[in-house]
Copies of this chain bind each other. A is one copy, B any other.
Amino acid sequence: MFELLREDQATAARRGRLHLGRATIETPVFMPVGTQATVKAMTAEEVWGLGYRLILANTYHLYLRPGAELVQQAGGIHRFMAWDGAVLTDSGGYQVFSLRDLRRVGEEGVRFRSHLDGTEHLFTPERVIAVEEQLGADIIMAFDECPPYPATHDYARESMQRTHAWARRCKDAHVTDTLLFGIVQGSTYADLRRESAEFIASLDFPGNALGGISVGEPREAMLEAVEVAAPLLPAHKPRYLMGVGMPLDILDAVARGMDLFDCVLPTRMGRNGTAFTTYGRANIKGARYREEFGPIDPECPCAVCQRYSAAYLRHLYKAGEILAARLLTYHNLAFYARLMEGIRAALDAGRFSAFRQEFERCYTQGDDDGDSGTAGAGQPHS
């Protein structure tokens, strides 16, 4: 299912290939987020045209609306959204645990109220696996508890143990031939991350993920959690860093041996007027773009940069036009696709570290001082 094609000499970075029934995924890979069975502002054809073959959809959101039964009736998530590639569904744990005032956690599972209409629901590991199987993704995630940051060591351990017990129950409940991935927790505590990675690895899932990352912790804590856990996850299986991240975060995590990534930021920030460019993030609202009749990123070969000027994008954004969200989202996903292609090509050519250095040198020249770490990257309900 997962081929490890090549390992970097200087770092723990890996070049791999993930064989899913519907698509072959070259790793390291970034998955655009399609929360409600749509990558916001994009058509399925556009996402495909940018080279993406694997996207993420949110179990919590689809369970509430339109409902997993309806998606199943439509022939599964792929047919429902007319997406020709593969899909990974998260477990809803992250979303449910963010409903602070609306949920109650027990060993059995989590009782919560819908953020849409206040109705009460119970997510147990068994129920979540059944829902994910109804949605019919290619890869489904175990139901985990995602503790907030900061969490005490005691709470982080208790929560991790619950996640471990639930991981076993997910495995027992899982009956279809979709791939079920386990999730490592442990907050920002190295001892817990280690214990969790070893435990989850022992359950022999076909792939393993690091969860509870990018929930507001400092960038160093994020990288340490990855550094500690990644080597303990089997090398011949894909490793997925959930909710990460910004371009520099992805490079750092690839260097630490991670293979799969997802993040709402390229799409959300696009809708909010930020373009990712070769020279860092660009705020389209800036006066400097008022009379910029060239593209927002002069180095970018994407369809938006080939056709539309920064001045026009700025006008659209300021005028509140949907086309602003469309074009900036498209450009940002093109940027991420190109970043990942660059990483893979560099790994193939044995020059990952040089690529990374060159990328960082350019990227840190932008409007912003590079990336701002993980805070806020993972708002759960959008």
Contacts and interface: CB of A to CB of B under 8 A. Distances in A.
B319 A36 contact: yes
A65 B326 CA distance: 20
Interface in A283-334: 290-291, 293, 307-309, 311-312, 314-316, 318-319, 321-323, 325-327
Contacts of A293: 73-75
A376 interface: no
B38 A321 contact: yes
A98 interface: no
Interface residues of A, number: 37
Contacts of A42: 323
A307 B82 contact: yes
B74 A38 contact: no
Contacts of A319: 36, 38, 65
Interface string A52-70: 0000000000000110001
A209 to B, nearest CB: 26
Nearest to A36: B319
A82 B36 contact: no
28 contacts: A36-B315, A36-B316, A36-B319, A36-B321, A37-B312, A37-B315, A38-B319, A40-B321, A40-B322, A41-B322, A43-B326, A45-B307, A65-B315, A65-B319, A66-B290, A66-B314, A66-B315, A66-B318, A70-B290, A70-B291, A70-B315, A73-B291, A73-B293, A80-B309, A80-B311, A80-B315, A81-B312, A322-B325
